Structure 1
Amino acid sequence: MSERPSRTALFLGYLQIGLTSFGGVNAWARRFFVEKKGWLTEQEYAEVLGIGQVLPGPNALNTAIGIGTYFHGATGAIVCALGLFTGPMVLLAAVASLYDTYGQLPLVRAILTGIAAAAAGMVMGTAVKMVTKLRPSRTLLCIGLAAFTLAALKVRMPYVLLMLAPLGLIAAWRELDR
């Protein structure tokens, strides 16, 4: 570690990360803390990230809290969490205000429909990448397709999880025994 950052530096760092990290906060945070600032070693970041990923809740927030705690205890945790969410919350409030004012205009509706289609495509593309890289068994693939089908039929997510999660766990467990 090259230096110990101040609370202000941590806040500003996470403010920047929160405003620029489209598609993955933790990858940007790693680049910032390890490569750009040198405040953490690769090993230190990996340890905090690992803990953040196994705890319940959003792993980016968990990791930010872990990094803040590492440097400044509870106050460091608070400033990192505030930094991470302040920028996006301000942007979201501004967009929500604009939507409230202009959301019913035909042009805005068309733009939002296009954005929704792009977002849905990104989710499906990510799912395809995961399936091709993970190469699940036929059983697990069928469970995934069943979840997709139930979602398309507008079955509520808790019911889908209650129905399919036990089957997925049993199938994955059986595959470990092979």
Structure 2
Amino acid sequence: MVTPPDSEPAPAAPRSPAALFWACTALALQGFGGVLAVVQQTLVERRRWLTQAQFLEDWAAAQLLPGPNVVNLALMIGSRHFGWRGAVAALAGMLLAPLALLLVVAIAFAQVAAHPAAQGALRGMGAVAAGLIMGTALRLLAPLRDNLLGPRACAALAAATFVAVAWMRLPLAWVLAATGSLGWGLAAWRLRRERGAQP
């Protein structure tokens, strides 16, 4: 786990599994497309359950695991604070209310899906979601200044991932396996080098 820098206060904790359930339910109901922005703002800035650096580390781990990233992150937080009870509470909070809402919306949208106004609304929401993700990505750059790899290596890995996924259209799993392995290898090499330099 990342040790919070001196400038960042220690993270708080959910009061109970029930509080975690309701927080995850509220979080899941806000995640319309730009879920990363909502998750970062809720967990780091509002509830302060994670520092910015911890969020960056946990989100990276959540992306490497199978399943939805935000569900993986919620499971990690629930298990960290309350064990299996917290994991179940977080999972239920993430899935129950959104599933019920999705069924209602799917039934209703089926009646108007072919209407031009409905198609235009969907395209507009896609642009908003892209803007939210870009804004959150810019906020997540700050913790990378203190990353073990350094700003240049982090920027190179991020650029390589973007090019491979957005331009070359390579499968995300392959890209994450390649760039993730490279990042892990570089970090392990730098750790060994730093330990070897210590008296």
TM-score normalised by the shorter chain: which range applies?
Answer: 0.5 to 0.7
SS of the aligned residue for 2:32 comes to coil
In the TM superposition, what is the alpha-carbon distance from 1:16 to its structure 2 partner? 1.0
Candidates 99, 102, 105, aligned match of 2:109: 99
Given the superposition, is the C-alpha separation of residues 90 and 56 from structure 1 closer, same or farther in structure 2, using an over 3 Å criterion? same
Structural mapping, 1:67-82, within 5 Å: 67-82=77-92
Alpha-carbon distance change, 9 to 122 in structure 1, aligned in 2, over 3 angstroms: closer
CA distance in 2 between counterparts of 1:8 and 1:124 reads 32
Assess, with a 3 A threshold, how the Cα gap between structure 1 residues 11 and 114 changes in structure 2: closer, same or farther. same
* 1:58 corresponds to: 68
Deviating above 4 A after TM superposition, structure 1's stretches of 4 or more consecutive aligned residues are 119-126, 133-137
In structure 2, distance between residues paired with 1:51 and 1:8: 25
Structure 1: any 5+ residue segments left out of the alignment?
A: 148-159, 174-178
Q: Which residue of 2 aligns with 1:89?
A: 99
Structure 1 residues 28 and 120, CA gap change in structure 2 (3 angstroms): closer
The offset of 1:5, in angstroms, is 2.2
- Structure 1 vs Structure 2 CA RMSD: 4.1
With normalisation by structure 1, the TM-score equals 0.58
Check conservation: 1:4, 1:39, Cα contact below 8 A: yes
Larger radius of gyration: 1
1:5 and 1:71 in contact (8 A); partners too: no
Shift of 1:122: 6.6
Count of matched residue pairs: 142
Q: What is the aligned partner in structure 1 of residue 196 from structure 2?
A: none
Question: When you count helix as a share of all residues, which structure comes out higher?
Answer: 1
